[in-house]
Amino acid sequence: MLLKQEMEQFGLKAVGTVTDGEFSSLRTQGETRPLHIWQLVHDARHAVSKMSKDTMLDMLIAIDVTDGKPRVPRPNHSIPDEVVTSIFKLCNQDGLSVEDAITFVRGKLVPEPYIPYTYRRNVPESLTDKLRSIVATCIFRASISHWQERGVDFSTYMYVPEKDPRTNDFHHEREDHCHILKRIAKHTRQGSNQQLNLERFDEAMRDSSTGLTHAALVGSRPQSVPDAELLSHHVADFFER
């Protein structure tokens, strides 16, 4: 912000900022609001990171349900009534334990046939992890709705630039090279996706229309821009044909 102010004193208009790194708060959190959906994910996880198991249970376990409205010891406006009501019915009508009810409801928060992503990688899930997963998901979805009501649609776009509060022009945040693209290319070369038939890339390399080179295919220049050839629309068109 200070840099942009200094530029304005010289009559220069900053139309964007380029920074290094895959995710940087300069690119995900603007001056007035979040810019990237990753920031909403980060904020939701941060919001539950210090919550205790008892605090989250008080948000999710209803004391009673009257006229379809659940009453909990610690209401959280981000958690929909239907989530709390569902847990209440599973425990009080279907006889499930609290953890089994939490596990079931958490599974319903993702579309079929997907399964929920673990809250912590490579660690056996505890009840606290499952609670944090549910509460963080609700906070995240509430954030999406909050900004959508204000004309910032993260349900459609991962990145929504903000208008500079001083110039009222859109300010675009960018990274100097695409780390995510490099990750995808690396996993593709390594055959990490078991559904990929890597022999097809050998055929693609032999077709002049794809623009593929040996270096891009086998990764002898893993830090080089030409590795983007591997994921170009020319390669996609070849596979489509």
**Domain shared by 12 and 66, yes or no:** no
Beta-carbon contacts of 195 under 8 Å, excluding residues fewer than 6 positions away, are none
Q: pLDDT at position 108, please?
A: 92
Confidence of residue 156 (pLDDT cuts 50, 70, 90): very high
**Domain shared by 187 and 209, yes or no:** yes
Look at residue 210 and tell me if it is in a domain: yes
Domains identified in the chain, total number: 3
Look up residue 83 and give its amino acid: V
Q: pLDDT tens for residues 96-139?
A: 999 999 999 999 999 888 888 888 888 888 999 999 999 999 99
Across 39-48, 59-68, 108-117, 177-186, the highest mean pLDDT is recorded for: 39-48
Across 13-27, 100-114, 197-211, the highest mean pLDDT is recorded for: 100-114
Q: How far is CA 5 from its chain centroid? A: 32
**Domain shared by 53 and 21, yes or no:** no
Cα angle: 107, vertex 99, 108; to 5 degrees = 15
pTM for the full predicted model = 0.71
**Domain shared by 90 and 8, yes or no:** no
Q: What is the mean pLDDT of the chain?
A: 86
Look at residue 99 and tell me if it is in a domain: yes
Q: Report yes or no: 149 and 87 within 8 Å, Cβ to Cβ.
A: no
**Domain shared by 122 and 200, yes or no:** no
From the number of C-beta atoms within 10 Å of its C-beta (0-12, 13-18, 19+), residue 171 rates as buried
Structural domain boundaries, residue 31: 2-36+171-175
**Domain shared by 84 and 126, yes or no:** yes
